[in-house]
Structure 1
Amino acid sequence: MDMIRRFFKLLKWYEAEGRPFALEAPPLRKLPHELILHIASYLPPESAASLTISCHTLYSCLEMEYLQPLKKAECSVVNGFLRLLDRDLPGHLLCLHCSKFHSMSLAETHIPSRRSFQTCKPLLACWKADSESDVIAAIHSEFSSTIFRMVMKAHRQGHDTTNLINHLSYGPMNFARSGFVEQCSATVRIQDGSLLVREQRVFMIPSSKKVPLPWHGCIDICPHIQFTTMLSLYRYGIQIPHSDEIRGHKNRQGIIYCKHCYTEFRVDFKGYGRDGNAMFITRWMDIGEGRDESDLKWRSRLWYRTGTLRKTAAFRRGSICAAFEQKADSEFRFDSLLTAQDEKDLRKKSPWPWPEKVELSYDRATRYFAVRCGKFVPF
């Protein structure tokens, strides 16, 4: 019964001597215990257990009959009981992976980059679940499904979500690669009861390079669209100008979207003179309400781990971008997200040189797809 006692203490339902407070003059106190037991017998086990901890009168009458059996109850019954408690714990999240409550005040401990500092403790079951379903690859490197559910629970209950939302965002972060610089950032917001994520990655390539692409690396847009090499962008039909064409280059492809999950993205280029040429990859994701793992938007993103079949995602092209930016997708400026400091950091040269004898060229590369109306079609 330690679990029940912890709940009482958490909810401050214990008196000094360790007994839960009774309601003032409860009508049930006037009923015979036999009648109370008879009434409770009509309830599901988890509801009867919840009724038991309503007050001291019910606790003393029903504890042996409905709380003690929770020790040996099936997981579905225990989880049902915890869900009933979850509604009255606004500062905590019920984690069904861990079968326990996580405090929202300690949300930052669930950020992937902070987990390495928890070496003195075993990994939580929800962390392992994120790793097994590869949530980081499906969304972004600092994303935690536990914090995601915390944010959405707090939102549904009308509480301030500012701090929790900040935990799901990151950057900008700068990385000096061999011969080029990369800058990444991600921001989240809640719109119409759903969590939207925007991530932007910017690559600054030396102006001396003919093709403004990094010489190595990969880009995961979503589980269904993955560019395993940088030249894969060209093979999929993305318009990539040569360095001497960037000044007058216009992105005529606009928003490209995934047919199987709620993701859309765009690829843009901008010249910075002698400092280099930048490729911008901006993507927007709608990952759902965060109630449970059966949410369609969540399942569609993790289909390759959860076994969910590829189904067509029903949304209008550009709608996720428009919902996030609060303006039409055609009005979005890809370089508007950069501050003056961000641009200054991007212009810094990498301390490591571009590898010798590595020169990218797509002149002889085979194209397998073309982009038409925001979709990839066989070339």
Structure 2
Amino acid sequence: MDVIRRFFELLKWCGTEARPLALEASPLRKLPPELILHIASYLPPESAASLALSCHALHSCLEMQCLQPLKKAECSIVNGFLRLLDRDLPSHLLCPHCNKFHSMSSAETHLPSRRTSLTSKPLLACWKADSGSDVKTATHFEFSSTIFRMAMKAHRQGHDTAKLINLLSYRTTNFVRSDFVEQCSATVRIQDGSLLVREQRVFMIPSSQKLPLPWHGGIDICPHIQFATMLGLYMHGIQIPHSDAIEGYENRQGIIYCEHCYTEFRVDFKSYGRAGNAMFVTRWMDIGEGRDPCDFKWRSRLWYRAGTMRRKVTFRRGSICAAFEQKADSEFKFDSLLTAQNEKDLRTKSPWPWPENVELSCDKVRRYFVVRHGTFVPF
């Protein structure tokens, strides 16, 4: 079996450091090989194989009886053995999709932006799984479920996660559109054993426009809350002030949360005078522990692809924001994430004009929902 062949190659790579030189602290050192073989015969195959890897002496004694049979073992036995091995390989992750180990030192190759540059190599099963389940909609465009699991494994084992956390985040990125500017960034942190993500998108709209909304595009908050067009915000009951009323505008709706996955967000507006009016869309996500692809926090984000029943989840409104920001959600300042350079970039005027005969208005748009206590209620 190919996975076992790769395992034996990995075993050679690990060298003698993976197996102590002697049974110095174990009473097994006094037993003859025949008795050790007899004891191993009572163990499950995957446990016996793990025993054979514990030191040189046991490896020599048990290799033929416990390790070699793995090459012809059933998949369930091989998978069980690999899961046991996964605990003792802190720098590798057993991928549930590829059924092989990925090195954390090469974690950046799993970034979506890096996969496109590796077209000469076959796509990994975990990459296909991310694409097939549309993980970028469930999280953000540079998110990788493999790096997510690497970070959580490293965290549980007490190792440094800074590099992996950095890979799951992305720096402030600017996009110049037709007469408006978009700026987005994402930051990740681990809190209370869960991976939390904060993403903010800012749209700078010319002050000449009546509504501070881009003329095209949509926003995906999560798989359950999606605005196909910018006017979809109004249709769902989100307050959108007119440009001449943004100065002094106060967001009274606050945090809005999804009832079907661990996601919450808020929509804010700010005037930058002649430079334009900005709409801020900030969302927070609790991705979960990353132990198992079937973890409910993770799977609830992929319900439409993973076959999970769409059901309601329970969490306190504002709790994900508070856990990420380390302060009450009411104390979060939506524009506090911008640096002076970020604001300068936002103020940079687009070289392309607003399309002619395109003017956004809510006058003829039907409103289907209103926001009450942070949820969408039919109008």
Output the TM-score relative to the length of structure 2: 0.95
Matched with 1:145 is 145
Counterpart CA distance in 2 for 1:70 and 1:295 is 29
Structure 2 Cα separation of the partners of residues 108 and 354 of structure 1: 38
Q: Which moved more, 1:154-163 or 1:194-203?
A: 154-163
Partner of 1:95: 95
CA contact (8 A) 2:23 2:29 kept: no
Aligned counterparts of 1:86 and 1:10: Cα–Cα separation in 2:
15
Q: 2:331 and 2:228 mapped to 1: Cα distance?
A: 30
Task: Please identify, of 99-108 and 149-158, the stretch whose mean Cα deviation from structure 2 is larger.
Answer: 99-108
Could you say which residue in structure 1 is the equivalent of 2:215?
215
Deviation at 1:25, TM superposition (A): 8.4
Distance apart, 1:229 and its partner CA: 0.6
Q: Distance in 2 between matches of 1:171 and 1:327?
A: 23
Amino acid aligned to 2:365: A
Give the distance between the partners of 1:29 and 1:113, measured in 2 at CA: 52
Shift of 1:28: 3.0
Look up the match of 1:243: 243
What letter is aligned with 1:230? Answer: M
Within 2, Cα distance between the matches of 1:108 and 1:328? Answer: 34
Match of 2:270 in 1: 270
Q: Structure 1: which 5+ runs fail to align?
A: none
Which amino acid in the other structure matches residue 275 of structure 2? D
Counterparts in 2 of 1:122-271, with a 5 A limit? 122-271=122-271
Which one-letter code corresponds to 1:79 in the other structure? N
Alpha carbons 1:8, 1:20 under 8 Å: kept: no
Task: Determine the structure 2 residue equivalent to 1:34.
Answer: 34
Q: Which runs of 4+ in 1 moved over 6 A?
A: none
Conserved 8 A contact 1:8-1:14: no
Instruction: Give distance in 2, aligned partners of 1:312 and 1:2.
Output: 44
- Residue in structure 1 matched with residue 16 of structure 2 by the alignment: 13
- The letter of the residue matching 1:104 is M
Matches within 5 A, 1:25-104: 27-104=27-104
Would the alpha carbon gap of residues 333 and 4 (structure 1) be closer, same or farther in structure 2, given more than 3 Å must change?
closer
Match of 2:319 in 1: 319
| Displacement after TM superposition at 1:74 (Å) | 2.2
Whether the 8 Å contact between 2:46 and 2:81 is mirrored in structure 1 is: yes
- Amino-acid identity (%): 78
TM-score by length of 1: 0.95
For the residue of structure 1 that corresponds to 2:16, the secondary structure is coil
Structure-1 residue corresponding to 2:110 = 110
Distance 2:20 2:63 in 1: 12
Q: Is the 8 A contact 2:96 2:293 kept in 1?
A: no
Q: What does the per-residue CA deviation read over 1:203-232, in whole Å, with 9 as the maximum and x for residues that have no partner?
A: 011111011111110110001000011100
- CA RMSD, aligned part only? 1.7
Offset, 1:76: 2.0
Could you say what secondary structure the match of 2:238 adopts?
coil
- Decide whether the 8 Å contact of 2:170 with 2:187 is kept in 1: yes
Q: Deviations over 1:158-214 (max 9, x none)?
A: 111111110000020000111211000000111101000000000011111011111
> Do structure 1's residue 281 and structure 2's residue 277 form an aligned pair?
no
CA-to-partner distance for each residue in 1:139-176, whole Å, 9 max, x for gaps? 00000011101111111111111111100000200001
115-124 or 328-337: bigger deviation: 115-124
Give the whole-Å Cα distance in 2 for the aligned partners of 1:20 and 1:230: 62
Task: Give the C-alpha shift of residue 27 in structure 1.
Answer: 4.0
Alpha-carbon spacing, 1:153–1:14, altered in 2? closer, same or farther (3 Å):
closer
Q: Shift of residue 38 of structure 1?
A: 2.3
Q: How many residues align?
A: 376
SS at 1:302 equivalent: helix
1:14 is displaced (CA, Å) by 7.4
Give, in angstroms, the shift of residue 306 of structure 1: 0.8
Q: Separation in 2 of the partners of 1:320 and 1:125?
A: 31
Once the two structures are superposed, residues 211-258 of structure 1 have per-residue CA deviations (whole angstroms, 9 ceiling, x without a partner) of 111111011000100001110000000000111010021100000000
* CA distance in 2 between partners of 1:26 and 1:140 (Å): 50
| C-alpha distance in 1 between matches for 2:350 and 2:185 | 19
Deviation at 1:65, TM superposition (A): 2.2
Distance 1:337 1:54 in 2: 50
| Superposed displacement of residue 29, structure 1 | 4.6
Q: 1:32 to 1:146 in 2, by over 3 A?
A: same
